[in-house]
Amino acid sequence: MLKRILFLIVGILAIGTVGFGVFAWRPSLAKVPQPTAASFSPALVRKGEVLASAGYCASCHTVRGGQPYAGGYAMATQFGTIYSTNITPDRKTGIGGWSEAAFERAMRQGVRRDGAHLFPAFPYDHFSKLTDSDVSALYAFMMTRAPVVADERNPTIPWPLNIRALQAGWKLLFFRPARFAPDATQSAEWNRGAYLAEGVSHCGACHTPRGSLGAEKRDQAYAGAAIDGWIAPSLGKTNSAPVPWSHDELVAYLSTGVSQYHGTAAGPMGAVSRSLSKLPPADVAAIATYFASRNGS
């Protein structure tokens, strides 16, 4: 009897493990010949450059004083340190052999070219909202950067949390991949702002509180959160600034890092505003419209 029960338990565990393995498995996508710079239109590369600024790719993928986009930047999480990767088009240590399909899968689903799951310190949960043409533009921009040889640094996350396949479970619980869905009751400008804020500019990655497993709490969007020893304040009605964040103050702060009533953007927000300063003024105005409507100013 006991033997049978044990057999049953072992059987269930084995099926569970195999089942999870199948569920977590993603194919490795073959390396492709390096696309030449001439295969991308200059307009597409330029569009990708603006999007890379809107998504602060360089902030996270460059170490202080290091080569742009060569990775190795340390991100402390509650579980350990994760290092960003080399996203220059070096064929061996970067993304040089990646097809656009592999790049698109990484950006939208958080899966590496070799099929391994990426950690959500890389904000793919926001990048999943990107349009196809914006993903193409980012690919064109990255593939036309100077290739840099820089090996990946392994995360210091302890076993078993470092098992990348387990990220499939995290995704099942928290990841809801979806393209941006415009709100028909709002203006085109509001929707442009929402698209940038929710997607490539991932404002919620710092301004939305996270649960114990590190996922943003959807029902507390932009309610304010602690990040890298800083407080990213609420961007909604609960913002405690004595003077409300009007549209114009948001534009000034986001594009120059300074607001006459609210002072200077410091810490991680300083890097954000330096990056956003490279956006077309209409895009910054759109982000401001979105948040002015959220905070009711």
Q: Which residues bind ligand HEC (CB under 6 A)?
A: 52, 55-57, 60-61, 75, 82, 84-85, 87, 95, 103, 106, 112, 118-119, 121-123, 138, 142, 197, 200-203, 205-207, 227, 230, 232-233, 235, 239, 241, 245, 250, 253-254, 262, 265-269, 272, 287, 291
Cβ-based burial of 19 (10 A; exposed 0-12, middle 13-18, buried ≥19): exposed
Q: 9 or 76, CB closer to ligand HEC? A: 76
Residue number, 5 or 158, with CB nearest to ligand HEC:
158
Q: Output the smallest distance, CB 38 to ligand HEC, in A.
A: 21
Distance, CA of 102 to CA of 88 (rounded, Å)? 14
The residue (of 119 and 190) whose beta carbon lies closer to ligand HEC is 119
18 or 74: whose CB is closer to ligand HEC?
Answer: 74
Using CA atoms, how far apart are residues 41 and 49, in angstroms rounded to an integer?
13
Nearest approach in angstroms of CB 97 to ligand HEC is 11
Beta-bridge partner residues of 216: 210
- Of 20 and 77, CB closest to ligand HEC: 77
Element (H, E) at 225: strand 225-227
For β-strands 74-77 and 258-259, DSSP reports them as unpaired
Kindly tell me which of 41 and 154 has the beta carbon lying closer to ligand HEC. 154
195 or 291: whose CB is closer to ligand HEC?
291
Minimal distance, residue 260 CB to ligand HEC, in Å: 13
Contact 113, 97 (CB under 8 A): yes
How far apart are CB 35 and ligand HEC at their closest, in Å?
15
Shortest distance (Å) from residue 102 CB to ligand HEC: 8
CB 54 within 8 A of CB 279: yes
Between CA 38 and CA 35 the distance in angstroms is 8
Residue 251 · residue 284 · CB < 8 Å? yes
Minimum CB distance to ligand HEC, residue 249 (Å): 8
Residues 179-201, buried b or exposed e (16+ Cβ, 10 A)? ebeeeeeeeebbbbbbbbbbbbb
Tokens read off for 50? 């603006």
* Least distance to ligand HEC, CB of residue 172, Å: 17
